[in-house]
Each structure stands twice: as structure tokens, then as C-alpha cells.
Structure 1
Amino acid sequence: ILAGYIAVSIADKPGIVAGMIGGAIAADGSFYGSDAGAGFLGGIVAGFLAGYIAKWIKDIKVPKAMAPIMPIIIIPIISSVVVGLIFIFL
């Protein structure tokens, strides 16, 4: 929950999904082969990471026809995948 709201404070609504998923991965160590999760400090890192990734994607110029679906579908999916892969493999 903490990671999601940190991401929202940085990237607004498109960041909440990536923040929540990043926080869940940080809390549960079984995703990345650890017996213990990263705890709330990992959640804070996941929130900042998700927020800045979503903000970076939000600033990319896209065609006019694609702009309405960016904050609803594209940004949450791409930022969630990137945050998940970073937490699992790094």
C-alpha cells in the first residue's frame, strides 16, 4: 500500500498500479528466490522506482489517437512490467 501511494504522489494516477505491484513483490521474497521479503524499506524503494518510471513514460510524446489510453492501459502495464522485472532480476 505504501509503495502505491508513493508512486501516486510522484506520477499521479498512472503510477498506482506499478507501485502496488512493486510493493507486493518487495514484501514477498518468494518472487525473487529469497526466504524473507524486503519489508517496508523495499516498499519505499519500489514506490519511488514505480513513480519515476511511470512519470518518465507519461512524458513520452505519443500520437493524438493514442493519448487517451496512455494513463489507463499503456503506462500501468509497461511500468508494472519494468518494476517487476527490476525487482525480480536485480
Structure 2
Amino acid sequence: MAIDSDLKVAGFSGCNRFFGQVELAKGYKLRVVAMGATKMACIQEDEAHVEKVMTKSLQKWNNVALENQILTLTSELHILTFLPTDHSPEEDSEQQ
């Protein structure tokens, strides 16, 4: 998941790519609004499950923690952890 300086977000949710706008609130809270996604067929049941959990979780308010370049989003139901990568989203679109 990548968030730019305008708080636009894009990422991969297990089967599809998603995009939207990050909304921030006091108390280190984050959620993604106006979320859209590609519509690839998720044949693997585990990929479809991960994607469903991830996209639903991102659209709800999450507590945010950033430590050692690891972003953690926590809600009452889930903990999502995002690790840094060695490439930018622009590199992904250039490779496709």
C-alpha cells in the first residue's frame, strides 16, 4: 500500500489492486474512503478471504502506528501490517 502527499492510496489486496483517498482523524486514526478496485476473478479461496478482510478493514477507522518503517493499522477486529518495499508504485505500472 502506498500513500502519496495528497493522501491518495493505492495497493494490492491479495487478488486485486485498490485505490482511494485516505482520511485522517484526531488520535492517530485512518481509513480509506472512495475506495475502488480492479475486478479480477479471485480463484484461490484464501486470496479472496484476505482481500475481503483487508478492504473492509481499510474502509473502517483504524488506529495507526508507524515504527521502524512498519505501518500497523489496528481495529477491534483486525491488525493490518504493511512493510516497506524496495520499489515505487510507478515501477509497477512501468512493468505492466
* Range of TM-score over shorter length: under 0.3
Q: Tell me the TM-score normalized by structure 2.
A: 0.25
Structure of higher RCO (CA pairs closer than 8 Å, 6+ residues apart)? 1
Q: Tell me the TM-score normalized by structure 1.
A: 0.26
More strand by share: 2
